[in-house]
Chain A
Amino acid sequence: MLSDFDFSVLTDSLPFLWAGLQFTIQLTLVAMTGGIIFGTLLALARLSSMKPLAMAAAAYVNTMRSIPLVMVILWFFLLLPLLTGKPMGAESSAMMTFMAFEAAYYSEIMRAGIQSVPRGQVHAGQAMGFTYSQSMRFVVLPQAFRNMLPILLTQTIVLFQDTSLVYAIGSKDLLKASEIAGKNYNRPIEMYIFVALIYFIICFSLSQLVKRLQQRIAIIR
């Protein structure tokens, strides 16, 4: 029962958890940056008039989106060392996996964003003498990115939560750190509650921020 709980272990394990949280944040930021860049390229490929390129991009995105993330993590952890011929740690493997996996989700958002920009904008760009890639870079993508910013950020909050699944290959993120701390101090219950609280506070505050941002964007429009 709750009265038997001992929450003093929490303070002792804080430095350890902080290291785990740092990795979780690092993984999130790397996957977000890589995912958005790679995802935007995928979106452009999907909307390209070159059929094979569009089809390849669509196949990649749809495949990634229909496999459970845990399986993708396991696949990469198995395949990366085989393909590179070098052993690869769980942490680096996780970074690669999340970049590749999240790119599929970000690409769908960017695709919707690009399609939300009226065609007249492209024509206006072309009328001013921009090439295709210039009108994408200077006219379409900035607007697409701005329109989709709240959704991109919401996806990043999902990504932040999803990083906990690196548990499957044992890399030391916030969750794994709390599990280890729980074992070391023989207080797993308190640690699970604590780590849930940390995740909740971070995700809830971020999602409230995104909500505000969304309202501000709605007003500007």
Chain B
Amino acid sequence: MNYHWNWGIFFDQVQNGDETYLAWLISALGWTVAVSITAWIMALVLGAIIGTLRTVPHRGISFFANAWVELFRNIPLLVQMFLWFFVVPELLPKDLALWVKQDMPAKEFVTAAICLGLFTSSRIAEQTRAGIQSLPRGQTNAGLAMGFTRAQVYRYVLLPMAFRIIVPPLTSELMNIFKNSSVAFAIGVLELTFVSRQMQEDTSQGIEVYAAVTLLYFICAFAANRGMALVEKRVQVPGYIAGAH
């Protein structure tokens, strides 16, 4: 293999600037985390709502919730990024469209977070639905028999349990969201993947750069995994074994 190694590359100054490449990488990590966490919060809230709606015995509502899930699940994430970035502003009223295109602060970041958040919400909706439906029907009956309204049954009985059950799949979703945030490079978010391509072009030290970026993604995934393990431990129900009743 004919390759010129240079692990010192991270301490070199970037072209046309006075930062080091290391500073670039750190700021890129910041964007990756920012996009992922913003999207995650959106996805959790929307996913919980849509997933709950999918279990409601009402045709119109469940059609809407199903359409939501199918829409975001059946178009590639990258194509969704382009849709949000290029197409959606065209569909807005003129003034708003102009503002979005010209004045909206951190336009790329906002677009990427919305896109990734909605995309992930459809997956979390699926998990939430499965979690709710895995609970015995008797739990709903017990809630209703005590005089709870349907909404109260969801709020106090079904959702708290469903969310505990789906912590493991949510863990992989959180790890996925960090991985999927890499797609934001395509609309110009200065996150890890974008910066690694840029550095490879500038310096041709691809292996070192990719290795560093891959390591950073590993760390993100690991942190997500440990963080969710903490959550899992905190919400654990004493004496409850999944599936046992």
Contacts and interface: CB of A to CB of B under 8 A. Distances in A.
Interface in B12-30: none
A67 B210 CA distance: 11
B106 interface: no
Interface string B163-198: 000000000000100111111011000000100110
A204 B70 contact: yes
B78 A165 contact: yes
Interface in B122-170: none
A188 B175 CA distance: 33
B217 to A, nearest CB: 6
A200 B74 CA distance: 5
Contact of A204 (B2, B74, B91, B200): B74
Interface in B22-72: 70-71
Contacts of B91: 1-2
B228 interface: no
Nearest to A161: B76
A79 to B, nearest CB: 8
A143 interface: no
Contact of A161 (B75, B83, B87): B75
Contacts of B182: 68-71
A164 B74 contact: no
Contacts of B3: 82
Given A1-B94, A189-B90, A193-B87, A66 B221 contact: yes
A199 B87 CA distance: 16
A196 B210 contact: no
A193 B221 contact: no
Please indicate which of the listed interface residues B1, B90, B180, B207 has the most CB atoms of chain A within 10 Å of its own CB: B90
Interface string A65-79: 011111100110011
Contacts of A140: none
A78 B211 CA distance: 12
Interface string A166-208: 0110000001000000000000110011011001100110010
A192 B86 contact: yes
A161 B122 CA distance: 16
Contacts of B213: 71
A83 interface: yes
Interface in A122-142: none
Contacts of A1: 90-91, 94
Contacts of A162: 76
Contacts of B175: 66
A162 B183 CA distance: 11
A71 B71 CA distance: 26
B11 interface: no
Contacts of A192: 79, 82-83, 86-87
B218 interface: yes
27 contacts: A1-B90, A1-B91, A66-B175, A66-B179, A66-B221, A67-B214, A68-B179, A69-B182, A71-B182, A71-B193, A71-B213, A74-B206, A78-B206, A82-B2, A161-B74, A161-B76, A164-B78, A167-B78, A168-B193, A175-B76, A189-B87, A192-B82, A196-B79, A196-B83, A199-B79, A203-B73, A204-B70
Closest 7 CB pairs of A and B: A68-B182, A203-B74, A161-B76, A164-B76, A68-B179, A78-B206, A70-B182
Given A66-B179, A196-B83, 13 more contacts: A68-B181, A71-B196, A74-B193, A74-B200, A167-B78, A168-B185, A175-B76, A175-B79, A192-B83, A195-B79, A196-B75, A203-B73, A207-B70
Interface of A: 1-2, 66-71, 74-75, 78-79, 82-83, 85, 157, 161-162, 164-165, 167-168, 175, 188-189, 192-193, 195-196, 199-200, 203-204, 207
Interface of B: 1-3, 70-71, 73-80, 82-83, 86-87, 90-91, 94, 175, 178-183, 185-186, 193, 196-197, 200, 206-207, 210, 213-214, 217-218, 221
